Amino acid sequence: MVKFLPIFATQIIFLLFLLSSFTKIQVHGYAKTMNKNLMGLKKEKLTHFQIHWHDIQSGQNPTPISVVRPPTNTSTNGFGIINMIDNPLTAGPEMSSKMVGRAQGFYALASQEEVGLLMAMNFAFIEGKYNGSSITMPVIEGSGLFRFARGYVQARTHNFDPKTGDATVQYNVYVMHY
């Protein structure tokens, strides 16, 4: 069996050489340029989502949970508070409209003088064609149908109740993906 090993190894090396010439892979030290067709990446397309993000702080099941609340805070706007979220995403502004996914991540009050939010979250879709896919906000990546995604988001407050802290925000998400 040892006699066949050199012949088998030569055939493997030749096959790898042949495949690399066919696929047009170029190796540059620690990185290589690949043919996007081999990864199943077809024509790039632009998708626009208009969805509504519900931050529900009131009631029995709040969707944000405060994970950091500074012990001494002289700021009038909550500077330093960090909330972990699992917020519903719906097709319309009403909570009763069709749920299309969940926003999972966190937001932090990041300014001492004004309302300034630092937000990082995934929009995880649970409905239709995009079920099982997610987009990372800001749009820098994705999973499922959003592999290699990039894009931008425009957020606009639809409703805010200062008594309860509940908010509905309309998100217009523009995603370039394959």
Domains and CATH numbers, the chain: 42-177 (2.40.480.10)
Q: Are 63 and 85 in contact (CB under 8 A)?
A: yes
Peptide bond before residue 93 is cis, with ω within 30 degrees of 0: no
173: three-class secondary structure by DSSP: strand
pTM, two decimal places: 0.76
pLDDT given for residue 83 in this prediction: 95
Q: What is the pLDDT along the chain (178 residues), one digit of tens a residue?
A: 455 555 565 565 555 555 555 555 556 677 777 777 777 777 888 999 999 999 999 999 999 999 987 767 677 788 889 999 999 999 999 999 999 999 999 999 998 888 888 999 999 999 999 999 999 987 777 888 888 888 999 999 999 999 999 999 999 999 988 8
Which token pair is 178?
């394959």
pLDDT given for residue 28 in this prediction: 61
AA identity, residue 45? K
d(CA 147, CA 113): 38
Q: What's the Cα-to-Cα distance from 43 to each of 22, 111, 132, rounded to whole Å? A: 21, 41, 21
pLDDT given for residue 74 in this prediction: 72
pLDDT given for residue 26 in this prediction: 59
d(CA 107, CA 82): 6
The residues that bridge with 106 in the sheet, in sequence order, are: 84, 120
pLDDT given for residue 73 in this prediction: 66
Q: Tell me how far the alpha carbon of residue 107 is from its chain's centroid.
A: 14
